[in-house]
C-alpha cells in the first residue's frame, strides 16, 4: 500500500495568507503543524513513511522538503507544470509502478482536516482490502453531509454491494444553496472527499480508456523516466499533456466506481468561513488571533500576522479581516468562496508581488 499526497495547488481562497510559495497546505491553519504535515502524520499508523509520496510543482518542492520532517526527498515528485489532477495522479501511478508493479494507491489531498484519525485509518484499511479483492474497481470516499454546503462537490450513492461498498449513481458539481438543501434532504447525496483508492495499474488503464491522449503523454513520460532523460525532456512532454481533473476525465465515466462512507470529522477547509466554523469562539461568537479592541463586533474572524498592530472595529458582523505584512482582506464570511475570484482579478491587474 502506497500513499500519493496531492500538494500542487495554491489554495487561492486562503489569500492573502496562501501564496505561490507558501500555499494553503504549508500554512498552520488548524494547529501548530502545517496542513501537509498533519496529512503525512495521520498516515503513519497505516502506511510506512518510505511508501508515502508527495506530488507537487517544482516551485514548491524545496519548501515542502524543508517543512516536512523525516521525509525522503526522492519521494517528492515535482511536476514541471500544473496539469490538473488526472495528470498528477497518472504521473504518481507511473512512479509507483516503476517501484512496485502491484502497487495499490491511496490518493489524498494535502490540505484537508480530519478530526477522528483512528476512524479514518479504519476506513482506509477497509477500502484497501476491498481494492485488493476487487482490483478492477475505482474507489472513492463519500462524507455524510452535516449541512447544505455549496463549496463541495457531491456524489449520489446507490445500493450497497458488499463489504461496505456502495454503487455511485452520479456525480454533482458544487451546487447552489437550494440544490444543496435538496441534496441534504434526499439522504443519498454525500460530499465528494477527493480521496481515492485503486491499483496503480487500474487507474492507468482507465486513463487510457477515457483520456487516451493523456495516456499517450504519460507513457512517453514513463519511458523518459526509465531512460533517465533530462528535465528538459520531461518538461517538454509535460507541456503537451492534457489538463483535466480525474473526476471529470475518469470517475464520472468509469463503470466500476465504488464509494465507502466516511464519518471521521472531515473538512476540505476550503474557505475562511470554514476555518471560522471550526475554531472556538469567544462570547461574541468571534474568532480572534490579533490585538483587537472592538465595539458591537459579532460573528467575525479577525487575524493578523503582526501581533503588535492594533485592530479596532465598530458595529461589524459576520466579517473576515485577514491582515498580512503586505495585504489586507476584508470580506463578509458568507462570501469567502469569492476570494478565489479576487485572486484572479489581482492576477489580471498584475499584482504579482502579493501572489
Task: Determine the Cα–Cα distance for residues 345 and 355; give it in Å rounded to an integer.
Answer: 11
Write down the pLDDT at residue 163: 80
- Cell for 176? 447552489
Backbone angles phi, psi at 56, to 5 degrees: -145, -160
**DSSP 8-state code for residue 317:** B
Give the closest residue to 167 by CA, choosing from 34, 257, 237: 257
Give the closest residue to 206 by CA, choosing from 136, 127, 283: 136
Write down the pLDDT at residue 67: 87
Residue-wise over 154-169: b if at least 16 C-beta within 10 A, else e? bbbbeeeeeeebbebe
- Cell for 183? 441534496
Write down the pLDDT at residue 229: 85
β 113-114/138-143 pair status:
unpaired
Give the closest residue to 41 by CA, choosing from 128, 98, 135, 110: 110
Weakly modelled stretches of the chain, pLDDT under 70: none
Write down the pLDDT at residue 8: 83
Task: Determine the Cα–Cα distance for residues 129 and 106; give it in Å rounded to an integer.
Answer: 12
Residue 187 burial (10 A CB sphere; 0-12, 13-18, 19+): exposed
Residue 267 burial (10 A CB sphere; 0-12, 13-18, 19+): buried
Task: Determine the Cα–Cα distance for residues 50 and 204; give it in Å rounded to an integer.
Answer: 23
Q: Fold for domain 2-270?
A: Spore Coat Polysaccharide Biosynthesis Protein SpsA; Chain A (3.90.550)
Show me where the domains of the chain are located: 2-270, 273-354
- Cell for 144? 455524510
Q: From its phi and psi, is residue 98 left (phi > 0), alpha (psi between -120 and 50) or beta?
A: alpha
**DSSP 8-state code for residue 298:** B
CA distance to 57, 58, 216, 221, 224, per residue, from 240 (Å): 16, 17, 10, 11, 14
Strand partners, 114: 266
Write down the pLDDT at residue 22: 83
Which pLDDT tens digit goes with each residue over 279-309? 999 999 999 999 999 999 999 999 999 999 9
Task: Determine the Cα–Cα distance for residues 237 and 43; give it in Å rounded to an integer.
Answer: 32
| Model pTM score | 0.91
Amino acid at each position: 500500500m502506497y500513499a500519493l499526497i496531492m500538494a500542487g495547488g495554491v489554495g487561492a481562497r486562503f489569500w492573502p495568507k496562501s501564496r505561490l510559495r507558501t500555499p494553503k497546505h504549508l500554512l498552520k491553519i488548524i494547529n501548530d503543524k502545517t496542513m501537509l504535515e498533519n496529512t503525512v502524520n495521520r498516515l503513519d499508523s497505516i502506511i510506512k513513511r518510505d511508501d508515502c509520496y508527495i506530488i507537487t510543482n517544482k516551485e514548491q518542492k524545496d519548501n515542502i522538503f524543508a517543512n516536512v520532517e523525516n521525509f525522503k526527498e526522492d519521494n517528492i515528485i515535482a511536476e514541471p507544470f500544473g496539469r490538473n489532477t488526472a495528470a498528477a495522479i497518472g504521473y504518481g501511478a507511473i512512479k509507483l509502478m516503476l517501484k512496485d508493479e502491484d502497487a495499490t494507491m491511496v490518493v489524498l489531498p494535502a490540505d484537508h482536516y480530519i478530526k477522528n484519525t483512528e476512524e479514518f485509518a479504519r476506513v482506509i484499511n477497509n477500502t484497501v482490502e476491498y481494492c485488493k479483492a476487487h482490483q478492477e474497481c475505482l474507489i472513492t470516499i463519500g462524507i455524510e453531509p452535516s449541512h447544505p454546503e455549496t463549496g463541495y462537490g457531491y456524489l449520489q450513492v446507490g445500493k450497497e454491494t458488499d463489504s461496505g461498498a456502495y454503487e455511485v449513481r452520479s456525480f454533482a458539481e458544487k451546487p447552489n444553496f437550494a440544490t444543496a438543501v435538496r441534496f441534504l434532504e434526499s439522504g443519498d447525496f454525500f460530499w465528494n472527499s477527493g480521496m481515492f483508492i485503486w491499483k496503480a495499474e487500474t487507474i492507468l488503464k482507465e486513463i487510457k480508456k477515457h483520456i487516451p491522449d493523456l495516456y499517450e503523454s504519460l507513457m512517453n513520460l514513463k519511458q523518459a523516466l526509465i531512460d533517465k532523460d533530462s528535465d528538459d525532456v520531461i518538461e517538454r512532454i509535460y507541456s503537451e499533456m492534457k489538463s483535466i481533473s480525474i473526476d471529470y476525465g475518469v470517475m464520472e465515466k468509469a463503470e466500476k466506481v465504488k464509494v465507502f462512507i466516511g464519518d471521521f470529522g472531515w473538512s476540505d477547509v476550503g474557505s475562511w468561513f470554514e476555518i471560522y466554523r471550526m475554531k472556538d469562539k469567544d462570547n461574541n461568537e468571534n474568532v480572534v488571533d490579533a490585538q483587537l479592541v472592538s465595539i458591537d463586533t459579532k460573528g467575525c474572524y479577525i487575524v493578523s500576522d503582526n501581533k503588535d498592530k492594533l485592530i479596532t472595529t465598530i458595529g461589524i458582523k459576520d466579517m473576515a479581516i485577514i491582515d498580512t505584512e503586505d495585504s489586507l482582506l476584508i470580506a463578509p464570511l458568507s462570501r469567502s468562496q469569492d476570494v478565489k475570484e479576487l485572486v484572479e482579478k489581482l492576477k489580471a491587474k498584475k499584482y504579482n508581488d502579493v501572489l
